[in-house]
Amino acid sequence: MLVLLVLVALAGGGATYWRSHQVQDPSLVLSGNVDIREVTLSFRVPGRVAEVVVDEGDRVEAGAVIARVDPEPLQAVLNQAQGSLAAAQASLALLQAGSRAEDIARLKAQTEGARAAVVNAQTTFERQQALLTSRTSPPQALDNARAALDQAKAEEEAAQQALLAAEKGARPEEIAQAQAQVETASAQQKAAEIQLADATLHAPSSGTVLTRAVEPGAMVAAGTGVVTLSIDRPTRIRAYVQEPDLGRLAAGTKVLVYTDARPGNPYAGTVGFVSPRAEFTPKQVETQDLRTALVYRLRITVDDADNVLRQGMPVTVRLADEAR
């Protein structure tokens, strides 16, 4: 009986020793979910929806046309802006070119005519003065001659100033003002061109249409959601790792992503981001056990994603080196 008790004690001690010295499985296994981003597409301009060329479930490529609003009102605004720009440019060119030779010749002729009128008015005035001295003409006639002479001199001065202005050309301030008007008209045309381009809604990236919120004929305001697009390329995985394993999952680490749909055929992935902040931090970290409860978020990019991966799908992540 004593021998039997000794044998049982030795067996128990051996089992305890074996459990305490056995090699633990060092492989790292993480759980996560497929994290596919979504974006709601909308027009930057208001208007009536002319057409929606995609439907729910359609696959679209980056730059593909999604929908259009009626461009006719926007085209009219652009035409008006183009006309204003052309008029401003013509005014600037006219000022920069200066007066034509024909205009200068006409102003010279007007100046000569005004000078001749002054000579004639001066002669008439002097004659009236002589007649008034001899008392053969009333004083009113002299006053009329003086007024005619003053008017002729004023007209001659105006003609001379007009000729001088034509010969000198436009003032720098006038040219600067015309240039500013051209720049303003050009900016208005550019804005109208942008608005017309915004009448067509394009896909910002490849993806799948999830929802179609409007139909042709509907009036939409700027910013009204038209379709919701699922951006499934690149496909990302959201997973969490505990603090002791952070050193094994640096950015760029290769991993394998397993799904229930294809457990024997994992996807290849790469760790792209490791959060520097714990997602669930205890209020007070006092023991080793509490410190190991900290988890950090990972973002893994799937290199060979296909349409099997869907939003929220649970996955298992293993290190590629350890899975071989």
Residue 206 domain-assigned (yes or no): no
215 membership: H or E segment, kind and range: none
Q: How many residues does the chain have?
A: 324
Pair 257, 303 in one domain: yes
Angle at alpha carbon of residue 207, lines to 204 and 212, rounded to 5°: 85
Task: Domain count for the chain, please give it.
Answer: 2
Q: Over its length of 324 residues, how does the chain's per-residue pLDDT go in tens digits?
A: 544 444 444 445 444 443 444 334 467 888 889 988 899 999 999 999 999 999 999 999 999 999 999 999 999 999 999 999 999 999 988 887 766 667 766 777 787 777 878 778 788 877 777 776 766 667 777 777 788 878 878 887 887 777 676 666 667 888 889 999 999 999 999 999 999 999 999 999 988 999 999 999 999 999 999 999 998 888 889 988 888 888 888 888 899 999 888 888 899 999 988 888 876 644 443 444 544 567 888 899 998 888 788 888 899 899 888 655
Domain with 227 in it: 26-66+213-319
Pair 217, 242 in one domain: yes
Pair 282, 311 in one domain: yes
Q: b/e for 231-248, b at 16 or more Cβ within 10 A?
A: bbebbbbebbbeeeeeee
Residue 233 domain-assigned (yes or no): yes
Dist. CA 179–CA 88, nearest whole Å: 8
Residue 136 domain-assigned (yes or no): yes
Residue 257, SS3?
strand
Q: Of 193, 225, 256, which closes a domain?
A: 193
pTM above 0.85, yes or no: no
Strands (E), 171-224: 200-202, 207-212, 219-220
Give the contacts of 126 (CB within 8 A, at least 6 positions apart).
Answer: none
Read off the CATH number of the domain in which 62 is found.
2.40.30.170
Q: Of 142, 161, 193, which closes a domain?
A: 193
